[in-house]
Structure 1
Amino acid sequence: MKRTNTPRGGPGSGLLPFLAISFAGAWITMIPLWLDGLRRTDAAQGTPPLAALCMILMMLVPALTAFGLTARRRGPREAVRVLGLSRATPWPREVRSVAIALSIPLGLTAVGLTVSTAAGWYTPAHLPGPGAVAPLVLSALVSVPLYFGEELGWQGYMLPRLLPLGRIRGLMVGGAVWGAWHVPMTALGGSYPGHPALLGILVAVVTATLLGTVIAAVRLSTGSVWAAVAAHVSLNEFALPLTRHVSGALVDPLLAGPLSIATWPASALAVTGVWLAHRRRAARHSPPAVSTATAPTPPA
């Protein structure tokens, strides 16, 4: 049986403090960049050391908040279990879940790049070789703690508190919250350099709602946050850089890549698949309806 821990104290218990601290922490960690006047205005612009440090601190905020709030109520050892840190399924199944989670963002990105190419927004030039993939694997392994920092908060703490809204509604609300949490960075041109901040924020929230729903569904299907971490790693450490590497020209992230509007149709289909799977599961486990025409007459 998949394990999804229900928070004590009623549905949504502890959600508001978590969101307040996580959002405040995101803005506080980005203050040095706002004071420095840093803004990403071009897709070719790299990430300065100060920006990298601020993003690392920002990504750790949700995990520290989730663990602190949970440990305060239930103790550190119980917090490890409640937040999904412990393995919920046998190792072979866990490894298989992680492998599937790694492939999902790459598959969605491939479909999106096909749309971008057909629209004339993207020009594929060559396939990535081992020399291009090896550094990405190393970077992904080093960066796992950072993505774990996010997913422990979103999928380990927030998601169980949103499920009382309804499974699909809770997943999509969680994705929207994830996108809104990125606003301090998105407004500086983080994901969509060279575009108006308001447009970037709008696209980021829609993209996060779709992709966040898929990642949350992965977490629910395994009962562990590790598969969700793998999906997030695949998105940022493989799908994004490979999009740039395969192209023969500078890529506009708004029009091509995993975070682009071209990937929305594929992501929307994936969300629809999650919804249909949930409906089938709910129908399979619901008690059969009793027809009034064939129901036995109670004795007088």
Structure 2
Amino acid sequence: MHVQTRPDWPAIAVFAVTSLVLSWLVALPLWLGGRGLHDLFFGLVAAAMMFTPALATVAALLVQRRTRGRRGARVVLRELGMWPLRPAARTIWMCVAVIFAAPVLVALGLFVMSVTGILTLDLVGFSGFAQTLQEAVPAGTPLPPMGVLVVVQLAMIPLGALFNAPLAFGEELGWRGWLLPALRPLGTWPALLVSGAFWGLWHAPLILLGYNFAEPNAFGVLLMIVGCVLFGVLLGWTRLRTASVWPAVFAHGAFNASAGMVALFLAAGAPTPPLMVMSPLGVVMWGVFAVVIAVLVVLGQFRPARLAAELGPDRRRAPAEVPSTAS
């Protein structure tokens, strides 16, 4: 296997330009239509946009083919972390773990907002959720017990992670499958931070319409970049730890499926803080992400010996740890 000792800047440049241009082209109907987030086809456009990093990966691979020669499908799949799953047990169990860990992260954010008084939650009557349902059905329509509905909604999150996986794959193939390993020769932490920052910037066509933070400006893009850097470190860690892109795919899908959890527990009539605070990628969640990252660092999970050599060398490794021949 070819091991990069320095970033392939031409391929990275092609990936960056292609992903950004395609994201704007796909989102363009939302801008031209003038309805933005209220456009009838917003969901479809946002879903289509998630596949643009995968297309950018194809463009980057074509550039690498010109500079590194033809590589077999098995080599490309391994370098992208798609196949084989090796060791299979570690990769599979990581996928299972992140499906449940992602909603736990969101729940921790809600807990922090509750104990700090940012949000008022109703964990008994689920009054806000009940009010939402009552407004959505004809007056007088009987509803099942709210507790049962909340449990069902929470139980559906793992299924939602599986349902979201194809869309998350479109992004993760680019960000963690190709870009993170391509930047790895810079060092593990620079690669994690730069790939996460670019992931956040890529969201600009939607953020500038008010998506996620209701801040349709450069400040909103900055908020998204910070959130994506921190969450991207966690997603990137799963990629580095397993040499597989699949844990990042399922973690991304599970996180998206958990994004609406606040609606289940918010008390009816309670004031809500700005989205920049309570968004799943907002300021409170930054703190949650940072604490989890710090715990992983203290446990040594970012040490070179714990990370997968298949992604290429970290320039801070000792020379003996850096593979010097192709396999």
Interval of TM-score (by shorter of Structure 1 and Structure 2): 0.7 to 0.9
Is 1:59 equivalent to 2:39 in the alignment? no
Query: 1:189 is aligned with what amino acid?
Result: G
Deviates more, 1:262-271 or 1:129-138: 129-138
SS in structure 2 at match of 1:241 = coil
Match in the other structure for 1:294: none
Distance (whole Å) between structure 2 residues aligned to residue 279 and residue 85 of structure 1: 22
Is 1:188 equivalent to 2:209 in the alignment? yes
Deviation at 1:278, TM superposition (A): 5.4
Match in the other structure for 1:242: 261
Distance (whole Å) between structure 1 residues aligned to residue 2 and residue 288 of structure 2: 30
Query: 2:245 is aligned with what amino acid?
Result: V
Write the deviation string for residues 237-261 of structure 1: whole angstroms up to 9, x where unpaired: 12x1212222224755322242120
- CA contact under 8 A between 1:62 and 1:154: conserved in structure 2? yes
Write the deviation string for residues 19-73 of structure 1: whole angstroms up to 9, x where unpaired: 1100111111111001112244xxxxxx654111211221001112213432672
Deviation at 1:94, TM superposition (A): 2.2
Q: Which of 218, 222, 246 is 1:202 aligned to? A: 222
- CA contact under 8 A between 1:84 and 1:224: conserved in structure 2? yes
Distance (whole Å) between structure 2 residues aligned to residue 15 and residue 107 of structure 1: 34
Match in the other structure for 1:296: none
Deviation at 1:105, TM superposition (A): 2.8
Aligned 1:88-127 pairs, distance under 5 A: 88-126=85-123
Query: 2:286 is aligned with what amino acid?
Result: W
Query: 2:57 is aligned with what amino acid?
Result: A
Q: CA RMSD in A?
A: 2.9
Is 1:25 equivalent to 2:47 in the alignment? no
Deviates more, 1:263-272 or 1:101-110: 101-110
Percent identity (aligned): 31
Distance change (3 Å), C-alpha of 1:54 and 1:117: same
Write the deviation string for residues 206-265 of structure 1: whole angstroms up to 9, x where unpaired: 111100111101111011000001110121112x12122222247553222421201112
Query: 1:150 is aligned with what amino acid?
Result: E
Deviation at 1:198, TM superposition (A): 2.9
SS in structure 2 at match of 1:254 = helix
Deviation at 1:281, TM superposition (A): 4.7
Number of residue pairs the alignment of both structures matches: 275
Write the deviation string for residues 252-290 of structure 1: whole angstroms up to 9, x where unpaired: 53222421201112211223344442565569x8599xx
Match in the other structure for 2:7: 11
Is 1:226 equivalent to 2:223 in the alignment? no
Distance (whole Å) between structure 1 residues aligned to residue 211 and residue 153 of structure 2: 23
Distance (whole Å) between structure 1 residues aligned to residue 216 and residue 62 of structure 2: 41
- CA contact under 8 A between 1:5 and 1:160: conserved in structure 2? no
Distance change (3 Å), C-alpha of 1:140 and 1:106: closer
SS in structure 1 at match of 2:211 = coil
Distance change (3 Å), C-alpha of 1:138 and 1:105: closer
Write the deviation string for residues 112-160 of structure 1: whole angstroms up to 9, x where unpaired: 2222123322122237634323554444333211100000011111001
Distance change (3 Å), C-alpha of 1:99 and 1:112: same
Distance (whole Å) between structure 1 residues aligned to residue 13 and residue 99 of structure 2: 31
> Taking structure 2 as the reference length, what is the TM-score of the superposition?
0.75
